[in-house]
Structure 1
Amino acid sequence: MSDRSSAGDGLFSDDADRAAGVYQALMARSGEGSPRPRLDATRHAVELLGDPHHAYPMIHLTGTNGKTSTSRIIESILRAYGLRTGLFTSPHLVSFNERIVIDGEPISDAALADNWDDISPYLDMTDAWLAERGEGPLTFFEALTVLMFAAFADAPIDVAVVEVGMGGEWDSTNVADARVAVFTPIDIDHVQRLGSTIAEIARTKAGIIKPASEVVTAEQKPEALAELQRAAELSEASLAVEGRDFELTGDTVAVGGQMLAVRGIASTYEELYLPLYGSHQGQNAAVAIAAVETFIGSGGHALSAEILTEGLAEVTSPGRLQLVGTEPTVLVDAAHNPHGALSLRVAIDEYFDFDEVAIVVGVLDDKDAAGILTALGPVASRLYVTESESERAIPADALAEIAHVATGLEDIFVLDRLEDAVQNARQWAAESPKRLVVVTGSITVVGEVIDLARDEEWKP
């Protein structure tokens, strides 16, 4: 995964250099993959800054899969309503600026750098405070969270849509008191930090529910839903559940996406076009609509059909069943756990008409590689096993051994360099218009391939 400047013509402007310096400064802190289960560090920093996270209402999202897509759909609908929005997602695919989006656009290099200059002295003061307590300095994600809250206050925005980094209860974004807490499907992931059972993971994620807030959840497994219900009752929060209080009632394939019908909390909505592939995206849209109904009128007022149609039609979700190449067709999807991989497999079967599919896959070492490959196996004609540039990437040879057991496929090709794997797959697919290439397994793999596709102009 690269981090490109937004400067044109390949030249780095002063602002681009400054923005690159922000990323380097953040990367010098302890890694994003190693969060510390604490809130006091982030809370101390934002208090020094004058509590920028209290300057706007917030919709807070957690879950195992679908967080980013659901966040993007919510943000697009709110923006269609004329609200100035802030959107915080992670990680980024190509440019670091993608993580902090203001009014539909990634934060500019100048705004990113200016806000960093403003908060840096307070980060240093917090680091010193932590050192006095015998604790390590602010982590990458803690410092990034402070930067995000400050940038949103500086913009300024009307509403923030914020995705947790990991878990919920001790995630640094949880220093804010969100008006609406949203849960996408909860499954097994990050077991070394969140717990080994769905109930344990749900309990940690339920920590974003605040007193007297409003909660919207996707359909959950019984043990996950029980934890959310318990947390909502203890916090005297309302709870809207997919399948009971709202649901996706219609989902048909359309050119470039799908047509939806949704029974919302306040009303029903028909003939909604969503330019995303996959039935799971239709379910994400239903959750997003319920979340917006909850935010705007506590679920008591129907959304404007015209505004809702406009908001959904403008949705994008980079890295999620994204078309990056034609002739041959190349899709990328950031499925990085078994649940996401299963959704990808179902979407390929339902939305695309290809006879043969080549899967290019690379997985990070903290992920369930066997589970991912088992889910993808039935749709794959052949596998190209590789690795991204990430230090956490499973070596291609080791991943290939897992792939042989998990899929039983004979056509498994091992290429250490991601670019070689993708180009070999594209060469194979170019031999027939009924062949498809899908790149998946980790966000780092997807980001690198998006970069490569853009550089080589795989799409006319």
Structure 2
Amino acid sequence: MSDPFDPEDPEEEGPEPEGSEAAADDEADTEPHDPAALGLGEREPDDLGLGPEDAARLGVGEVDPFVEVDPDEPIDLDEHAEVEETLPAGPGPTAAGALDALLERSDALPSRDRLLTLLELLGRPDRAQPAIVVVASHGASSIARMVVALLGALGLTAGTLERTHLQDLAERSRIAAGLADRALLEEQAGELAPFLLEADDRHPEPVTRDEALAALAFARFADGPVDVAVVEAGPGGAADPASVVRAEVAVVGPLDDEDVASAAEVAGRAATVVRATLDEATAEAIDGAVVGDARRVVVGRDAALVQRDLALAGQQVVLRGVTDLVDEIYLALQGAHQAQHAVAALAAVEGFLGFAGGLDPEALREGFAGVRAPGRLEVVRRPEESTVVLDLADRAPRTRALARALEDEFAFRNQVIVAAPSAEADVAACLRPLLGAARHLVAVPAPGAADPERVAAAGRALGASVELAADATAALDLAGGVIGEQDAVVVAGVPAFVGQVRAALGLDPA
């Protein structure tokens, strides 16, 4: 008879060691959790033995010591009522402090072990529903928003986890298309705080900000509950939050060379992989990661853009999915690249629903028509002033796509470029596509952006006249001073800067 615990026995493998990643994943796969039982509020800080010093370090306020009560002394209810009236409404400073503490956590590289520890403490909310993961160097958020809109139009509620935000932290995780209430986030951060401390104590390095935000989002989705999680993958590979969810579909969009290995790691865990048309080496890396009987769908071969025409404030497209042809789609987004993203989103939804076909075309049209992607070739028209075009074009591939769209879809007389490219980017390569049609540049400082003096020097070397602005408002004023109503201010930069410009224009987070 074989010994199930003998590692040399070829007939049967023994159980994974307790606490290992494989054991954690196996347990999650075999014992699905009831989403209604995954609320953060159901586990108390006292369960983890928090004292006053721990609570202060977490930003959750002081923990009151035990109070000795005389059972023979009557309780003065009026006295307690007076105290209650003095308490602040809502989550108060305790919860707000926890959210601030969370946001001040490190932005170090992610750790799969650390993330799994935190999720295990929370009851694995990341496994409460199936997921669609989106991994791309460019366009991931747009694809994710299209997927969410299509699922919603078909009657499914999706929770979205995005990698970045423009103006408000609440943009990173949402249920359906709605932003989380800030007060709710503060309250949930307070509930998460003791679990963060416990996870910190189990590892040499503390839980990072992005790991904590991912755990917070997964707990919200489990509490929702949602039917599917749509998770935008980062560069973390096996350590990325997208690698721990139950991925039914992975969508792989355009990739930079440095992101290929991470994308392959994430895509290789999905049952269906929908990928963009990629260069030969990148395509081989992604296809090589797909194992077993996982299905491969290639945009341009198995699903495609059939027709595209410009329309008012968007485009009209005909898409051929894997199972369905959908015509008369209005997409309220600019740029040919967004039409390609729409093909990938349609194929992803078809794959999630098992490629059964017969999707309601009216529902799909409704879903696409409702997609909004702030900061992605976003056009803001101002009465009696120049138009502003905002785009998260902080690296050369993105500025090339932006330049093509400006040339093909707009008829601006003149353009002024307001730029805050990524500090990690080749600044000259970023500016070159945009300064072909524009000869004036405004360089601006922003978190995560290249030094404006460096941007200015690159602009001068490319023959542009250059000005430096102190902030987003000053940049808009400088740019608006040299152009008229038929011209455009083109804002291209890192997410934080595009968010600052949106705020300066009076636009709400979305």
Q: TM-score normalised to the size of structure 2?
A: 0.78
Contact 2:235 2:262 in 1 (8 A): no
| SS at 1:121 equivalent | helix
Match of 2:9 in 1: none
The change in CA–CA distance for 1:437 and 1:13 in structure 2 (over 3 A counts) is farther
Does the aligned pair in 2 maintain the 1:259–1:274 contact within 8 Å?
A: yes
Please say if residues 211 and 236 of structure 1, whose CA atoms lie closer than 8 Å, have aligned partners that are also in contact.
Answer: no
91 and 19 in structure 1: CA distance in 2 versus 1, 3 angstrom threshold? farther
Counterpart contact for 1:212–1:238, Cα < 8 Å = no
**Structure 2 portions without partners, runs of 5+:** 1-87
Letter in 1 for 2:459: A
Q: How big is the shift at 1:78?
A: 0.4
Could you say which residue in structure 2 is the equivalent of 1:9? none
The answer as to whether partners of 2:415 and 2:440 remain within 8 angstroms in 1 is: yes
C-alpha distance 260-168 of structure 1, shift in aligned 2 (>3 A): farther
Q: Which moved more, 1:54-63 or 1:111-120?
A: 111-120
Which stretch of the first structure deviates more once superposed, 371-380 or 56-65? Answer: 371-380
Aligned amino acid, residue 388 of structure 2: V
410-419 vs 179-188, greater mean Cα deviation: 410-419
1:142–1:172: 8 Å Cα contact kept in structure 2? yes
The alpha carbon displacement at 1:394 in A equals: 2.1
Q: Indicate the residue corresponding to 2:220 in structure 1.
A: 151
Which whole-Å CA distance do the structure 2 matches of 1:338 and 1:285 have between them?
Answer: 22
Q: 1:341 to 1:167 in 2, by over 3 A?
A: farther
Secondary structure of residue in 2 paired with 1:173: helix
The alpha-carbon distance between structure 1 residues 22 and 256, as it changes in their structure 2 partners (threshold 3 A), is farther
CA distance in 2, matches of 1:69, 1:107: 19
Question: Given the alignment, which residue of 256, 280, 283 partners 1:187?
Answer: 256
The CA deviation string for residues 37-94 of structure 1, in whole angstroms up to 9 with x for no partner, is: x211111111111111111110001111000000000000101111121011131111
SS of alignment partner, residue 215 of structure 2: helix
Q: CA deviation at 1:28?
A: 1.8
Residues 112, 151 of structure 1: 8 Å contact kept: no
Kindly provide the CA deviation profile for residues 177-211 of structure 1, in whole angstroms up to 9, marking residues without a partner as x: 311111111124xxxxxx4xxxxx31221111345
- CA shift, 1:123, in A, is 1.3
1:328 aligns to 2:382 (yes or no)? no
Moved more, 114-123 or 279-288: 114-123
Aligned counterpart for 1:309 among listed residues 341, 358, 365: 365
Match of 2:329 in 1: 272
* SS class of match (2:134): strand
1:59 — aligned with what?
132
How far did residue 393 of structure 1 move?
2.9
* Structure 2 partner of 1:422: 476
Cα distance change on mapping 1:223 and 1:317 into 2, 3 Å: same
- Aligned residue pairs, count: 419
TM superposition shift of 1:148: 0.8
For the residues of structure 1 that align with 2:209 and 2:468, how far apart are their CA atoms? 33
Which residue among 353, 363, 370 is the counterpart of 2:421?
363
Partner SS state of residue 413, structure 1: strand
Secondary structure at the residue paired with 1:387? coil
Quick one: distance in 1 between partners of 2:92 and 2:413?
A: 45
Measured in 1, the distance between the counterparts of 2:319 and 2:360 equals 14
Q: Note the C-alpha offset of 1:24.
A: 1.4
Change in 2 beyond 3 A, CA 1:14/1:204:
same
Q: 1:400 aligns with which of 453, 456, 463?
A: 456
- Give yes or no for the alignment of 1:111 onto 2:184: yes
CA distance in structure 2 between the aligned counterparts of 1:172 and 1:149, rounded to whole angstroms: 10
Higher relative contact order (CA 8 A, sep 6+): 1
- One-letter code of the match for 1:242? V
> Which amino acid is the alignment partner of residue 298 of structure 2?
V
Q: Work out whether 1:435 is the aligned partner of 2:508.
A: no
> In 2, distance between residues paired with 1:419 and 1:399?
18
- Aligned residues of 2:274 and 2:347 also touching (Cα < 8 A): yes
The answer (yes or no) to whether the contact 2:95–2:190 under 8 Å persists in 1 is: no
The DSSP-based 3-state class of the residue aligned with 2:343 is: helix
Give the 3 Å change call, closer, same or farther, for CA 148–354 of structure 1 in structure 2: same
Summarize the Cα distance change of 1:146–1:428 in structure 2 as closer, same or farther, 3 Å threshold: same
SS at match of 1:258: strand
Alignment check: 8 A CA contact 1:84 1:157 kept: yes
Separation in 1, partners of 2:312, 2:96:
39
Write the distance in 2 (CA, Å) between the matches of 1:322 and 1:15.
Answer: 35
| Structure 2 partner of 1:213 | 271
CA contact (8 A) 1:265 1:300 kept: no
For the residue of structure 2 that corresponds to 1:60, the secondary structure is strand
- Amino acid corresponding to residue 162 of structure 1 in structure 2: V
For 1:420, the aligned partner's letter is A
2:350 aligned partner: 293
- Counterpart for residue 261 of structure 1: 318
Q: State whether structure 2 residue 198 is matched by structure 1 residue 125.
A: yes
- Alignment RMSD: 2.0
Paired residue for 2:61?
none
- Whether the 8 Å contact between 2:99 and 2:190 is mirrored in structure 1 is no
Aligned to 1:25: 101
Q: 1:295 Cα deviation (Å)? A: 0.6
> C-alpha distance in 2, partners of 1:16/1:90?
28
Instruction: Confirm or deny: 8 A CA contact 2:415 2:437 kept in the other structure.
Output: yes
- The aligned residue for residue 385 of structure 1 is 443
Query: How much has 1:167 moved relative to structure 2?
Result: 4.5
Asked if 2 retains the 8 angstrom alpha-carbon contact of 1:260 and 1:273, the reply is: yes
Contact 1:210 1:235 survives alignment (8 Å): no
Conservation of the 8 A alpha-carbon contact between 1:18 and 1:109: no
Q: Which residue of 2 aligns with 1:446?
A: 498
How far apart, CA to CA, are the structure 2 residues paired with 1:230 and 1:97? 36
CA distance in 2, matches of 1:119, 1:213: 31
Q: d(CA) in 2 for partners of 1:18 and 1:418? A: 33
**Residue number in structure 1 paired with 2:121:** 48
Partner Cα distance (1:235, 1:119) in 2: 38
Structure of larger gyration radius: 2
Classify the secondary structure of the residue corresponding to 1:65: coil
Contact 2:469 2:478 in 1 (8 A): no
**Residue 161 of structure 1 is aligned with which of 212, 230, 236?**
230
Corresponding position of 1:191:
none
Give the Cα–Cα distance (whole angstroms) in 1 for the partners of residues 91 and 435 of structure 2.
46
Aligned partner of residue 282 in structure 2, secondary structure = helix
**Residue 155 of structure 2 is aligned with which of 69, 82, 96?**
82
Contact 1:359–1:440 (Cα < 8 Å) also in 2: yes
Using a 3 Å threshold, how does the CA distance of structure 1 residues 383 and 16 change in structure 2: closer, same or farther? Answer: farther
Residue 374 of structure 2: which of 314, 318, 341 is its match?
318
Q: Is the 8 A contact 2:415 2:488 kept in 1?
A: yes
Q: Distance in 1 between matches of 2:344 and 2:177?
A: 20
